[in-house]
Amino acid sequence: MTNHTPCRATAAAENTATQALTHRVAALELLVQQLIFVMDAQGTLDADALDRWLTTCTDRMRATGSVPPIEVAALRALHAKVAQ
């Protein structure tokens, strides 16, 4: 008889880690949204200026290859999400 408990435990641990990562990403998205709101409200950097800055940065990252394309794509996705 084979004991499948370690496999189940491994699957459960991986599922928990995936859920934790999903929650951390969601929390970071909320944090970025709040930071943008505060900077805009305080007049230190308005949302439009930040949007232009992030666009310029990601364009340069892509053009120079200074950041892996998958990370640039993730940053652009985050940028789009928090700009909503």
pLDDT per position as a tens digit, 52-67? 999 999 999 999 999 9
> Contact, 80 vs 33, CB < 8 A?
no
pTM: 0.63
pLDDT per position as a tens digit, 25-36? 888 888 888 888
DSSP state string for 23-77: HHHHHHHHHHHHHHHHHHHHTSS-HHHHHHHHHHHHHHHHHHT-S-HHHHHHHHH
Instruction: Sketch the domain layout of the chain as residue ranges.
Output: 5-82
Q: Which two tokens stand for residue 39?
A: 């900077």
pLDDT at 6: 67
pLDDT at 46: 86
Which has the minimum average pLDDT: 12-16, 39-43, 56-60?
Answer: 12-16
User: What's the mean pLDDT when you consider all of the chain?
Assistant: 85
